[in-house]
Structure 1
Amino acid sequence: MSRIESKKKHIKTVHQKRKLFRAKEPLLSVFMWGINHSLNELAHVNPPVMLMPDDFKASSKVRVDNHLFNKENMPSHFKFKEYCPLVFRNLRERFHVEDQQYLNSLTKLPPIDLESSTSAKGATRRFNSWDGLFLVKTIESYQVAEVHNVIKAYHEYIVERHADTLLPQYMGMYRVTVNDAETYLIVMRNIFSPRMTIHRKYDLKGSTVDRQASDKEKSKDLPTFKDNDFVNDGVQLIVGENAKQRIMEVLKKDTTFLTDQNLMDYSMLLGIHDIEKAEIERETREREAEEGEDECFSSEEDCLGAHTNTPPESPISPGRLQYSESVENPLQDDIYGIQCAGEGKKEIYFLALIDILTHYGMKKRTAQAAKAVKHGANAEISTVKPEQYAKRFLEFIDKVLS
């Protein structure tokens, strides 16, 4: 046997290292893998000078059949599809979100599963990115079609307005297929601050019929209250005349855009951060931490253990999207927060439009007719024509802002 042949027998094959995307379920592992793959592919594509009509219909997809994946981390077979990749990359740029930031937020750690909800539109799952910057939401196939219907006009509107809007800021739309089950996901900027606790939350449409939180909803840690709850609670959003005028100007333009696209049934999501309550909560946490340390050091063994264990790194990096508690304009720097202008009332409001993808078609017209029969023609039902919906919505918001 030759010397060369002998050496070859001792050569060990080294497989290329794979970046693992560990999550508690295959859907999220594949989603993280797909985001990483998509952005790596886009990195090799120069941004076009201008988007073409085909870009608004385009998609990229990849199918993986790989036995080398550890099934505890990734399924061996899956598919990932991204819709309109160049368009959404351009939108992220308009919203001042860099690809590296987007990649880090969605792949460094798994998204955090929020409480699922079920409505007449179907079951919805929501996830926050680990750093709280983005919301990942499951949508139905008809909503994917609706995004395709409005994406060109939406992009033109964002460009025209220089992203000065309270519409959802869409970052990407995807399809994940695992075990032949297809899941559609859309990513948008989170309305709420990752650094401020939301103490009360409302979903407001400007309608009164069936617009109160259920007992089941009220039992949650952070319920989503509705219009009747808002009125009964006597909430008044004191933002000052200049801020109110600015918000209403933007909302009028946004709702005109939605009306032109024949969209309705959207809401204003409002989150209220109570500064004084947050301070009490912080002091309580610090006191409990100190008491925990005192208890820890009560024995020599625990004392030694405390010195040898390093606390885990905070999941929110300190340099990301810091919300100031003196924000004057909810649209400044794409931040949705505005400080209460009322004397002696220390609150910060976060507000923006959500759920804008409901088209006023035959199904909605039928629902409107049915509700009118049940509640009367003059009842403030949520299912009305887009023009009427926008008018009533603006009137309601105008009343609650001062």
Structure 2
Amino acid sequence: MRLEEERERERERERERERERERETKRLPAPVVHVKESVLRAVPFTTDTSLEEGQWRDRGREGQGQRRDIGKRMLRLDLPGRRTCTTAMANLGNSGATSSPMVILAPKTKTKKKHFVQQKVKVFRASDPVLSVFMWGVNHSINDLSQVPVPVMLLPDDFKANTKIKVNNHLFNKENLPGHFKFKEYCPQVFRNLRERFGIEDLDYQVSLTRIPPLRSVDNQGEGLLLNSYDRTLVIKQISSEDVADMHSILSEYHQHIVKCHGSTLLPQFLGMYRVSVDSEETYLIVMRNMFSHRLVVHRKYDLKGSLVAREASDKEKGKELPTFKDMDFRNNMQKVYISEEQKEKLMEKLNRDVEFLVRLKIMDYSLLLGIHDVGRAEREEEAGEQVSNEEEQEAENGLASGHMVGSYSTSPEGIAGYMSSYKPLGPGEFDPYVDVYAVRSCPGAPQREVYFMGLIDVLTQYDTKKKAAHAAKTVKHGAGAEISTVHPEQYAKRFRDFISNIFA
């Protein structure tokens, strides 16, 4: 009898517990989402139905902590539904404990949107890693300078300043740029001011040097690099560390000279000086404006020093497509420069002013570079170029041809010469004086129409101990009265001006 009463009370308690579970289930309604069984096994969780209501609240706090742990594990296992509430039924009957619904809430986490990196236009592709680093450095330098206000005046420290960039473990564009390199720019504010005085915008300068890799010049005769920008407005020349030191020694006086003459000069227009270090090898580069035209082809050129000793082009030089003739060749060919008296006076005024500046700095061994564009020959070559086959004409219409005639270069849509192509079309022998600043047109009475390009080159040679020794050796060899090229700066300047004044008709 007592045993039956005990069993009845046990059944009553069981029914009470069942009702309690039903009430708890109604309080936590939630949709059921499938969860991987391995997660539930990894994080066991049981609900003891024998707990009182107050104990349920305490156990609920523990359950929240366990649910957070399960949510984190779900995120690590990359389960679906990580942003939604997840409910699962766990039947973990263990030591008399009965199963109950379990709610698993994954924490709400913010997932970043995927950011697709697009390849930039400027990737600085060049076959030579030195050129790639040079293009990268110029682009970086101009972008940095654009963020710096233009100083009201240059200070002495600006003529000694430099900026350095060192890049290690560069992997984004390793097919085109080396992994380790250094780039150095000398006197950035000074050259920025010089570019402004020469009428060259920094953006045009940047585009001309970095849009397309510079090309090797056909005039490259030495061991170092001699490059032309893709629009042929700039020249990049490799120099020595001694030349860099010489440039630093004359830069302040050079800047003052350019300021006084308002940028009207026959001297080289220096626009930037850099050092590129790749594989522990240092390459020094200086950028200048091209003395020849970016559009008109030069048919003959001379390098004139005013000396007649050993100043004749060699047979090997004469065999080139565009040889560089010298003083004796100029005299033997009976060559003359046909310009008006007004143009001659302006030219000689510039020349005398620049030569006096070089004498003050004790500089010698400079030359007058003379390029001649034959307008008549260019027209004939252009007419011959127009008589192409039907196949070539079709290719030209489809944009497959080279894009320029024989007598003149094609004009670039961007860079220093870019705005001229959209300004107005230029005819044979025509040029823009703001771009081709060294150009002079022949006078109306000349035997043939020509365009002359004249400027001073090789202006970094100072009369030092080496030149004194060379002067003594040549004097012994050729005699004291011979017109050798290695003489005192004052004597060199006088002889040079006398010779140049006689090249005009």
Q: Please, what TM-score do these two structures have when normalized by structure 2?
A: 0.72
Give, in whole Å, the separation in 2 of the partners of 1:356 and 1:378. Answer: 25
**Structure 1 letter corresponding to 2:366:** Y
Structure 1 residue runs of 5 or longer lacking an equivalent are: 297-304
**Structure 1 letter corresponding to 2:261:** R
Give, in whole Å, the separation in 1 of the partners of 2:436 and 2:495. Answer: 26
Q: Partner of 2:488 in structure 1? A: 385
Q: Partner of 2:162 in structure 1? A: 59
Give, in whole Å, the separation in 2 of the partners of 1:67 and 1:7. Answer: 34
Residue pair 1:134, 1:188 contacting (<8 A) in 2 also: yes
**Pairwise CA RMSD:** 2.6
Match among 120, 136, 142 for residue 39 of structure 1: 142
Match among 189, 209, 218 for residue 86 of structure 1: 189
Residue pair 2:238, 2:286 contacting (<8 A) in 1 also: yes
- Are 2:202 and 1:99 aligned? yes
- Are 2:265 and 1:169 aligned? no
1:198-249 deviation digits (Å, cap 9, x = unpaired): 0001000001111111122112111111111111111011112111111111
- Are 2:360 and 1:269 aligned? no
After superposition, residues 360-399 of structure 1 pair within 5 angstroms as 360-399=463-502
Residue pair 1:133, 1:321 contacting (<8 A) in 2 also: no
Residue 17 of structure 1 and its aligned partner are, at CA, apart by 4.6
Match among 137, 140, 159 for residue 237 of structure 2: 137
Residue pair 1:325, 1:348 contacting (<8 A) in 2 also: no
Kindly indicate which of the two structures has a greater share of residues assigned to strand: 1
The verdict on how the C-alpha distance between 1:136 and 1:308 changes in structure 2, with shifts beyond 3 A counting, is closer
- Are 2:152 and 1:49 aligned? yes
1:162-211 deviation digits (Å, cap 9, x = unpaired): 01110000000000111111110000100111110100010000011111
Q: Partner of 2:437 in structure 1? A: 335
Q: Secondary structure at the match of 1:258?
A: helix
- Are 2:381 and 1:278 aligned? no
Q: Partner of 2:44 in structure 1? A: none
Q: Partner of 1:77 in structure 2? A: 180
After superposition, residues 183-332 of structure 1 pair within 5 angstroms as 183-288=283-388, 290-293=389-392, 316-317=412-413, 319-320=418-419
**Structure 2 letter corresponding to 1:20:** V
Give, in whole Å, the separation in 1 of the partners of 2:350 and 2:298. Answer: 24
Residue 105 of structure 1 and its aligned partner are, at CA, apart by 0.4
Q: Secondary structure at the match of 1:348?
A: strand
Residue 293 of structure 1 and its aligned partner are, at CA, apart by 3.7
Residue 292 of structure 1 and its aligned partner are, at CA, apart by 3.6
Q: Secondary structure at the match of 1:96?
A: coil
Residue 333 of structure 1 and its aligned partner are, at CA, apart by 6.8
Q: Partner of 2:224 in structure 1? A: 124
Residue pair 1:115, 1:125 contacting (<8 A) in 2 also: no
Residue pair 1:56, 1:87 contacting (<8 A) in 2 also: yes
Q: Secondary structure at the match of 1:167?
A: coil
The verdict on how the C-alpha distance between 1:332 and 1:240 changes in structure 2, with shifts beyond 3 A counting, is farther
Give, in whole Å, the separation in 2 of the partners of 1:260 and 1:39. Answer: 33
Match among 144, 147, 157 for residue 257 of structure 2: 157
Residue pair 2:208, 2:231 contacting (<8 A) in 1 also: yes
1:61-91 deviation digits (Å, cap 9, x = unpaired): 1011134233321111111100000000000
Q: Secondary structure at the match of 2:311?
A: coil
Residue 327 of structure 1 and its aligned partner are, at CA, apart by 7.3
Residue pair 2:292, 2:436 contacting (<8 A) in 1 also: no
The verdict on how the C-alpha distance between 1:180 and 1:265 changes in structure 2, with shifts beyond 3 A counting, is same
Give, in whole Å, the separation in 2 of the partners of 1:312 and 1:332. Answer: 27
Q: Secondary structure at the match of 1:183?
A: strand
Identity over aligned pairs, percent: 52
Residue 309 of structure 1 and its aligned partner are, at CA, apart by 6.5
Residue pair 1:95, 1:334 contacting (<8 A) in 2 also: no
Q: Partner of 2:452 in structure 1? A: 349
Give, in whole Å, the separation in 1 of the partners of 2:449 and 2:373. Answer: 9
Residue 15 of structure 1 and its aligned partner are, at CA, apart by 5.2
**Structure 2 letter corresponding to 1:355:** D
Residue pair 2:296, 2:429 contacting (<8 A) in 1 also: no
**Structure 2 letter corresponding to 1:55:** D
Per mean C-alpha deviation after superposition, the further-off stretch among 316-325 and 380-389 is 316-325
Give, in whole Å, the separation in 1 of the partners of 2:367 and 2:294. Answer: 21
**Structure 2 letter corresponding to 1:242:** E
Q: Secondary structure at the match of 1:359?
A: coil
Residue 285 of structure 1 and its aligned partner are, at CA, apart by 1.1
Residue 379 of structure 1 and its aligned partner are, at CA, apart by 0.8
Residue pair 1:327, 1:338 contacting (<8 A) in 2 also: no
Give, in whole Å, the separation in 2 of the partners of 1:309 and 1:115. Answer: 26
Give, in whole Å, the separation in 2 of the partners of 1:252 and 1:384. Answer: 18
Q: Partner of 2:216 in structure 1? A: 113
Residue 311 of structure 1 and its aligned partner are, at CA, apart by 5.8
The verdict on how the C-alpha distance between 1:334 and 1:311 changes in structure 2, with shifts beyond 3 A counting, is closer
Residue pair 1:81, 1:174 contacting (<8 A) in 2 also: yes
Structure 2 residue runs of 5 or longer lacking an equivalent are: 1-73, 76-81, 84-106, 404-409
Higher RCO, 1 vs 2 (CA within 8 Å, ≥6 residues apart): 1
Give, in whole Å, the separation in 1 of the partners of 2:427 and 2:346. Answer: 19
Residue 306 of structure 1 and its aligned partner are, at CA, apart by 8.6
Q: Please, what TM-score do these two structures have when normalized by structure 1?
A: 0.89
Q: Secondary structure at the match of 1:264?
A: coil
